[in-house]
Chain A
Amino acid sequence: MTATQSSPLTLISKSASTKTQAVPPLVEQLKGGLDAPICLTWELTYACNLACVHCLSSSGRRDPKELTTAEALAVVDELADLQVFYVNLGGGEPMLRKDFLDIVDHAVSRNVGVKFSTNGYYIDKAAAERFAATDLLDIQISLDGFDAETNDAVRGKGSWEAARRAMDNLADANFGEFKISIVATRHNVDQLDDYKKMADEYGAQLRVTRLRPSGRGVDSYQDLRLTHPQQQQIFRWIMDHPDVLTGDSFFHLNALGKDTGETLPGLSMCGAGRIVCLIDPIGDVYACPFVIHDEFMAGNVRDTGGFASVWRESDLFQELREPGAAGACASCNAYEACGGGCMAAKFFTGIPLDGPDPDCALGHADEAVAAASAAGVVPQPSQDHSRRPVTLGAKPS
């Protein structure tokens, strides 16, 4: 494994910029959808040893209808035929599947690169060495606080230690540049410099993504979401750290750059059903990993025609590829910059899909979020595999 194997998806056509750029026609074409996704997330199981309060898939218990090994390998074959260059495996905790390595090995053998997200509990020394010897494999370890107190309040007691042990094992095995993945919350946003130092010390790459009110995040969102001053803070921090990955997830904050012409790196568009999607553990295909809800379910990989038919022909995905209306944001002079933000975040906070992002950096959604929350009209996820009631742990002071 080479030292440069990480850094997924660097876009040559668009970079962090201090100049105003016209929207390239390419983005418009991407909005119309592609024959196959650029980037696909595949949650392998709903089983998880942890019970994170913001879990986007409300994971915990395995679902009896999860894809069999044969079905999973067939999905890999289909993705290979579609020339999906790489797949993000997650869960739940994907390493809990007994056939996890079979699925990884098959993907790699078909030239489908694998990045998987894990809490790190099962990356012991032997596993780290096995992974280090596997080509086209990238590992992303979740750590939602720089210190144990901050992390464990969200991810559960002992999870910080497990994640650090996994990182140590990967470093000892000379895995190369793994990723440390952080969901930015109001409790860890001040720790980003510390995280960066940690990543540099490991020779790892830092990845910071946005908290969404999805899955169990519906309940923890109000306690964890960034404040308006923190949105300013993280916008600036990301602009100052162009080597940090963001999953293109903070594009709603581009409203903050409207006067200076600054835009965050990335495509700055919602890719749901256009360039990304999610396959869940039972084979259901959703528009993106953050909208596991019946309204955004396009079909199932077990249907006739398989994944390709769902991607290309489902009514839902066709609809998502139509040009969207600016709706309530039409009169805002930042709409060009933020595009109205994240569909999933709007949906799970009870805001119309043509309304402002709940985390609109200009505060245009504050009243609507409060009103929807007070009226109790916030949609709940359609499925829940939680093992037991999950509550936010002791909050760090």
Chain B
Amino acid sequence: MPSGSADAATQKRPQADHPLAFDSSAKWERSAKIGLRPEPFGALAYHFDTRRLVFLKSAVLVQLVDGLVDHDSADAAIEAIVEPTDDRSRQAHVKALASLAEAGVIEPVTTAISSVG
């Protein structure tokens, strides 16, 4: 019996693929496994591996997710894109990014170890 509504389970178990705590001083980027669909409230993000659907609840958060890759750290991206006026706004965006990291929407950019020679 198919269901018409969205399955919306909370996952209490740890996400094995994303065990890292969120470090806002590191460089992050939008995961290649993510589909983003623009919506009036921001965007819907869908993770094709975990099948999780995530709501990005503001346009600026969408810009931030897309713009992370252009900055050396998440902190720098927040300063440049969100232009927070106070610490509270700054912290709110760090927290939002931490949630998105937990859901696998964004991933840390691992610097490739270049071979010497």
Contact A16 B10 (CB under 8 A): yes
Q: Of B48, B50, B57, which is within 8 A of A26 by CB?
A: B57
- 8 A Cβ contacts from B1-26 to A: 1-13, 15-17
Q: Can you name the residue of chain A whose Cβ is closest to the Cβ of B41?
A: A29
Interface size on B, residues (CB 8 A): 35
Q: Is A366 interfacial (CB-CB < 8 Å)?
A: no
- A24–B55 CA distance with the chains assembled, in angstroms: 12
Q: Can you name the residue of chain A whose Cβ is closest to the Cβ of B105?
A: A12
- A138–B49 CA distance with the chains assembled, in angstroms: 11
Q: Of A3, A43, A243, which is within 8 A of B9 by CB?
A: A243
Contact B8 A275 (CB under 8 A): no
Question: Given A86-B46, A113-B51, A136-B48 in contact, is the A39-B1 Cβ separation under 8 Å?
Answer: no
- Which of B32-40, B80-88, B108-116 contacts its partner? B32-40
- A36–B54 CA distance with the chains assembled, in angstroms: 16
Chain A residue numbers with a CB within 8 Å of B35 are: 83, 85, 111
The proximity string for A residues 247-269 relative to B, scoring 1 for CB distances below 8 Å and 0 otherwise, is 11100000000000000011100
Chain B residue numbers with a CB within 8 Å of A5 are: 49-51
Q: Can you name the residue of chain B whose Cβ is closest to the Cβ of A17?
A: B10
Q: Is A369 interfacial (CB-CB < 8 Å)?
A: no
- A52–B2 CA distance with the chains assembled, in angstroms: 13
Most A CB within 10 A of own CB, among B10, B13, B35 = B10
Contact A248 B7 (CB under 8 A): yes
- A24–B58 CA distance with the chains assembled, in angstroms: 13
Q: Is B76 interfacial (CB-CB < 8 Å)?
A: no
Contact A247 B52 (CB under 8 A): no
Question: Given A3-B16, A111-B35, A183-B1 in contact, is the A246-B10 Cβ separation under 8 Å?
Answer: no
Chain A residues close to B by CB (< 8 Å): 2-16, 24-26, 29, 34-36, 38-39, 41, 43, 52, 54-56, 83, 85-86, 88-90, 111, 113, 117, 136, 138, 140, 142, 144, 181, 183, 207, 209, 242-249, 265-267, 271-272, 275-278, 288-290
